[in-house]
Structure 1
């Protein structure tokens, strides 16, 4: 057996050498390379159906005319010039004649079942009509000398076409193959993408190694999932807008293009094509998609958070002072009214009119802007008009509470604008766009937000056009923002305290006036009687439950007061009950989990105010000398725990703790005697011996430290004192727990000094 096998191997080697020598294919070689035994169509005989003869240096394969039952013929890497033998193979399905010397385009009679043909790496120069090849589905004509695409009009089953590395300079002749899913035109001379409009089924497109400068021409190919444009001449990121609507596109390759040199190229492309999963052969991560959106089209929440962080950091870098708009406790934030709505809705005019009519309660907060004044706008009344450089300088000086960009201009509300109103004991009324509202909601201010929105869009647009101040692009953007405001109101329940249609300004103002008077408790007696039944059905039965935002009324010295006979005191339970009912009417129903969360947050605020939780700034600048002060707070802490339901103890305790809204002064300031009065009141019931150690500790806490390291000589500024905000002229000379002979202490523990 071994001798016979060696003999057979020698014979096959001799046959192969013989065929290589003269390039003529013989029957012996054919018989040795046949495979895939199967039946003939009649089912009475068995024959081989596959023939593979790669790299045999064949030039003459005429012997194959006798093999009429072949279904698959592979003849790659030979020297074949003539394929006429294929005409005698009616059952042929797959033909591979790549890497040969064939110059005639399909020089054989068409087998009716021929589906896959590979004629790449040959010498063909012109395509001919292939209408007779109705079953053709895969055609590879790469690495030839073809200059145009033709003859495929009747190939209705063609799905894969490769014409890579030819001399094609223009895409044409692809109007009819509607089922084409894969097209490769790699390595040609294309400068534009054209002629692909009818390929609605195209899924994979390879246009690499060309001279393409634009992606225009791909916008209607909605089934495209992969595009390869490696090593072309694409230089602008904006070209990706042409394929922005191809929602099935997952793989894009732009390697070797000058566009990759653009700053933030990858994030920009990922932002324009959010559905991509692979870019330049690298996987697109979820983090990249989020970063791209936050960079180029951040949500209003992200913009507002950045804006708030910027202003907070710059404010902390400035000398810290006590503001008139800082209220003594978390239960009574400074009252503000914010009117918001799309541009030109009348919010500025309504704000001015409201402040004029209710001048005993409101004053207009003047914002800053970098745009020029419109008609009848006055500097210092409607806006402070400044240039961009001054605006940026004010940001770096920590002047602003919130800023925003709109229409290419900057707008901002300064702390001084609110302070100018707060010094007069009035509530501040301002107007701003939606971006400013999102930013202001990050601050500790809790304004009433009223949305003014046009219902009749055409009337609103006509009003804007009548001004003659806006370009068509600005009008389109303004119109689109109406839906932005409406969506915000629909999707964020309770985001606005009230929504008022503003198609008729007089009617809108009357509605606004009525709503504001309800906030101020200025309703007529008849209206109060009519509301009695509504108040009885209110859900606000819990005396401990507080409204989400405070009423627009203040009491006491330098504060707002109602025209009613008796102003409600914030410590009065009816004060809380009334606004709990109003809040229940204006706000959506909260779930038990939300209510529990609100109560936990309120409890944390109370603990921070009364000293159970140290303030943020005191922790940052904590010194060894201040540790003694913590021991002083312990008796007050226990006392406040035992009397947590007492409004009087909460009010007095709040004045002994630094406000979280204020900063730190750079030097030791005299201690307010009124605070010692509150301390005395809080320590009632203890022995006189207990007073002296506590007072000594307080004196040590505020005295200059011997250690001169930075921050060790800084004392927290106390919050404002409601009773006149008076400050003693000089500190107490001795840390005595008892008041001096010139000091009088009233029943509530407040201290009043003579002179």
Structure 2
């Protein structure tokens, strides 16, 4: 009995080996591999419905014709050529016959519920009509030899299609399919076509092809992932074709020539701001911000960069106290800025205002790299310079602000403002919005008036009538009108006043009324009050007319305002008290950063006046020693002179490295109030009387300190600007002495606003 059992076992093993050798699937092998028992019919019968036979070297699976209840059949990595047995499986849902030798395309009767088919890595060459497979959803035909796509038009439920690594050179036959995932990796495609009607496509794999452009993808509005690895895309601008795909999150351009472009990653991130993954790497928030700041920075960022650039270059140059420097470090230059879109008339209005109110305003001529228009004169309308000269002026720290507009550079120089300020006048300039933002970052505090068109058609007609603007320039100017309007709406108080400029004459009369009523007349009224004051009559000094910087606009009115004051000695305590009181009343509260900046600038001016100099740049400003004049050997005699006399305001250019003030901790700021008290005390005593504060005064005034080479040179204060004198208020004759001054190269710039 034992011998019989051994014999049967041996025969079974031999049969198994024989069946495997011949590649014929047997019922015994099926019984061992079938799985997933389920109830069928009325629930009283149970059948196995999952059969998996990978890597069995099978070539004949005809025995499966008897297994009609199979729902999932997996036969990968065999040598099967015929799958006709599937025709007997009406309940089959999933079929995996990958990595076989099948050459017939769907060579079986369609099971009505067949949903997923994998025929990858076979020997198929032609696609046939699959309209009978109405339930098909997932179809994998990768690694075959298909040269074209066809027969899928009626597969109305097909959502996933893979045709990777075939010989397809043209995409077609996919119209109106509900595809969400399409893989065409490793084919011979040279362009994207035939995908316009795939409105549901979400994931597209076009890697390992010969595609040179992204044109053809612009209408796939729900596309979220595109794989274009190892293609022939060479230009970053190709990304513009998918710019409007708002759901695109993943883009892969690895292995394309475009990656050799400078700043490739930031450029792509800028063009496709909604990306979260680029080239299989996560896009960070920092990269998105950097890309925007690099290629299309907000106006505030542009202004901040412009201000930092000119500030740094300016601090690298020897610092100069000009003849026109205000009597206090807290006093800004008097400036009026007209701004508005290109061609709104701001330049003409600025010129006309300076002509009619020449006793108060002078035009600040700017620099530009563009050529002159018809009727423009060099040195009057602009300083026309080359791009090379313009860049040299930037590097020399000569500009207050610059902008790029219309492909040209415009800039406002310090000398343009100084040339006006040294005459005691307010500087009137015009510029674009970018220049206004940059100027607001500086220590200048102009009043800003916005000139804006309210009738678009009339504004466009005016641009056309000038005959100097191209169609692109006019379109750009029209688009910026709304930019100015939005700025005025969103930033309350950004402009001190807004004037419609549809009619040039009406706009000028409004501008003249605003300036004359709220700047000039109030100033003259203040001067008349000063003339009748007891202080003026008792001292015998005639009041001087000097337009000061207009304070911020009045609450809720947005109108210009100003105050005038008699030019006083900066060491006079009464002047400082008056000035600080006026500033506190009229100026808005400053932040801690602004106050710290003001204190630093004031400290630098005081150090320059008393002859102190930070040690960090002392070797850069050596000068030959000179003997101090005798007038400074006796501080008491010097202080007893009238502080308002012309001799005390002799002109001189005082060069100090004020940019180093922030780096020196050894220099202490001079308290002007202490100096003022000392001066007042000394005026009331006899020259020979001793005073306990005499040493302090001598230390403050005497330039004989050995802190720097040449410190024994007499520091001569620059004159206090007195402005142009009216006939009713003549001023004393100026001092006959020489008035040396440091004058930089002529510069300036309007931000493209060609009035």
For the residue of structure 2 that corresponds to 1:126, the secondary structure is coil
Deviation at 1:516, TM superposition (A): 1.4
For the residue of structure 2 that corresponds to 1:520, the secondary structure is helix
Deviation at 1:341, TM superposition (A): 0.6
After TM superposition, list the pairs within 5 Å mapping 1:712-723 onto structure 2.
Answer: 722=720
Residue equivalent to 1:196 = 195
Residue equivalent to 2:171 = 171
For the residue of structure 2 that corresponds to 1:95, the secondary structure is strand
Deviation at 1:554, TM superposition (A): 4.5
Residue equivalent to 2:636 = none
Residue equivalent to 2:484 = 485
Residue equivalent to 2:590 = 598
Deviation at 1:319, TM superposition (A): 2.1
Residue equivalent to 2:37 = 37
2-structure distance, mates of 1:660, 1:7? 115
User: Does the Cα contact within 8 Å between 2:336 and 2:429 map onto a contact in 1?
Assistant: yes
For the residue of structure 1 that corresponds to 2:239, the secondary structure is helix
Residue equivalent to 2:531 = none
Deviation at 1:18, TM superposition (A): 2.8
2-structure distance, mates of 1:225, 1:11? 60
Residue equivalent to 1:345 = 344
Deviation at 1:573, TM superposition (A): 8.9
Cα distance per residue 1:142-185 (max 9 Å; x no partner):
000101111111111111000000010001001020x2100000
2-structure distance, mates of 1:23, 1:493? 86
Residue equivalent to 1:76 = 76
1-structure distance, mates of 2:675, 2:737? 16
Matched, 1:556 2:558: no
Residue equivalent to 2:651 = none
2-structure distance, mates of 1:277, 1:312? 37
Residue equivalent to 1:246 = 245
User: Does the Cα contact within 8 Å between 1:659 and 1:719 map onto a contact in 2?
Assistant: no
User: Does the Cα contact within 8 Å between 2:23 and 2:60 map onto a contact in 1?
Assistant: yes
TM-score by length of 2: 0.77
2-structure distance, mates of 1:664, 1:204? 60
After TM superposition, list the pairs within 5 Å mapping 1:105-504 onto structure 2.
Answer: 105-177=105-177, 179-329=178-328, 331-504=330-503
1-structure distance, mates of 2:132, 2:76? 24
Structure 2 gaps, min length 5: 526-550, 555-559, 570-574, 620-653, 662-669, 724-733, 739-755
1-structure distance, mates of 2:432, 2:552? 25
Deviation at 1:248, TM superposition (A): 1.0
Deviates further, 17-26 or 29-38: 17-26
Deviation at 1:132, TM superposition (A): 0.8
1-structure distance, mates of 2:454, 2:287? 39
2-structure distance, mates of 1:306, 1:375? 33
Residue equivalent to 2:679 = 681
For the residue of structure 1 that corresponds to 2:294, the secondary structure is helix
For the residue of structure 2 that corresponds to 1:450, the secondary structure is strand
For the residue of structure 2 that corresponds to 1:690, the secondary structure is coil
2-structure distance, mates of 1:190, 1:304? 47
For the residue of structure 1 that corresponds to 2:692, the secondary structure is helix
Deviation at 1:124, TM superposition (A): 0.7
Cα 1:728–1:58 shift into 2, 3 Å: farther
User: Does the Cα contact within 8 Å between 2:148 and 2:171 map onto a contact in 1?
Assistant: yes
Deviation at 1:324, TM superposition (A): 4.3
Cα 1:233–1:623 shift into 2, 3 Å: closer
Residue of structure 2 aligned with 1:703, choices 702, 705, 718? 705
For the residue of structure 2 that corresponds to 1:146, the secondary structure is coil
Deviation at 1:65, TM superposition (A): 0.5
Cα 1:577–1:58 shift into 2, 3 Å: closer
User: Does the Cα contact within 8 Å between 1:141 and 1:163 map onto a contact in 2?
Assistant: yes
For the residue of structure 2 that corresponds to 1:248, the secondary structure is coil
TM-score by length of 1: 0.77
Matched, 1:99 2:138: no
2-structure distance, mates of 1:702, 1:410? 47
2-structure distance, mates of 1:729, 1:334? 26
1-structure distance, mates of 2:492, 2:693? 52
2-structure distance, mates of 1:450, 1:613? 31
2-structure distance, mates of 1:696, 1:524? 38
1-structure distance, mates of 2:111, 2:390? 79
2-structure distance, mates of 1:238, 1:351? 42
Cα 1:298–1:28 shift into 2, 3 Å: same
Cα 1:727–1:683 shift into 2, 3 Å: farther
For the residue of structure 2 that corresponds to 1:328, the secondary structure is coil
User: Does the Cα contact within 8 Å between 1:199 and 1:221 map onto a contact in 2?
Assistant: yes
Deviation at 1:485, TM superposition (A): 1.2
Deviation at 1:10, TM superposition (A): 8.4
Deviation at 1:417, TM superposition (A): 0.8
Cα 1:19–1:473 shift into 2, 3 Å: farther
Residue equivalent to 2:625 = none
Cα 1:43–1:524 shift into 2, 3 Å: same
User: Does the Cα contact within 8 Å between 1:322 and 1:717 map onto a contact in 2?
Assistant: no
2-structure distance, mates of 1:12, 1:328? 116
Deviation at 1:525, TM superposition (A): 12
Residue equivalent to 2:46 = 46
Cα 1:100–1:46 shift into 2, 3 Å: same
Aligned pairs, number: 642
Cα distance per residue 1:667-721 (max 9 Å; x no partner):
xxxxx9x999736237779995532442454478752348x7xxx9699989855
Deviation at 1:724, TM superposition (A): 6.8
2-structure distance, mates of 1:516, 1:6? 120
For the residue of structure 1 that corresponds to 2:321, the secondary structure is coil
2-structure distance, mates of 1:405, 1:477? 14
Cα 1:458–1:606 shift into 2, 3 Å: closer
Deviation at 1:29, TM superposition (A): 0.5
Deviation at 1:137, TM superposition (A): 0.7
1-structure distance, mates of 2:191, 2:508? 59
Residue of structure 2 aligned with 1:691, choices 693, 702, 705? 693
Structure 1 gaps, min length 5: 527-545, 560-568, 584-594, 625-657, 666-671, 731-755
Cα distance per residue 1:579-617 (max 9 Å; x no partner):
74xx8xxxxxxxxxxx8x637567657765776999899
1-structure distance, mates of 2:470, 2:524? 50
2-structure distance, mates of 1:325, 1:554? 17
User: Does the Cα contact within 8 Å between 2:324 and 2:720 map onto a contact in 1?
Assistant: no
Cα 1:174–1:9 shift into 2, 3 Å: farther
2-structure distance, mates of 1:609, 1:258? 53
Deviation at 1:40, TM superposition (A): 1.6
For the residue of structure 1 that corresponds to 2:310, the secondary structure is helix
Cα distance per residue 1:160-211 (max 9 Å; x no partner):
000000010001001020x210000000000010110011111100000000
Deviation at 1:519, TM superposition (A): 3.6
1-structure distance, mates of 2:8, 2:260? 64
Deviates further, 370-379 or 443-452: 370-379
Cα 1:125–1:677 shift into 2, 3 Å: closer
1-structure distance, mates of 2:208, 2:510? 67
Give the number of the structure with larger relative contact order, counting CA–CA contacts within 8 Å between residues 6 or more apart.
2
Cα 1:507–1:40 shift into 2, 3 Å: same
Cα 1:688–1:289 shift into 2, 3 Å: farther
1-structure distance, mates of 2:164, 2:405? 50
2-structure distance, mates of 1:717, 1:288? 53
For the residue of structure 2 that corresponds to 1:235, the secondary structure is coil
For the residue of structure 1 that corresponds to 2:319, the secondary structure is coil
User: Does the Cα contact within 8 Å between 2:318 and 2:656 map onto a contact in 1?
Assistant: no
User: Does the Cα contact within 8 Å between 1:663 and 1:716 map onto a contact in 2?
Assistant: no
User: Does the Cα contact within 8 Å between 2:311 and 2:397 map onto a contact in 1?
Assistant: yes
User: Does the Cα contact within 8 Å between 2:81 and 2:100 map onto a contact in 1?
Assistant: yes
User: Does the Cα contact within 8 Å between 2:496 and 2:553 map onto a contact in 1?
Assistant: no
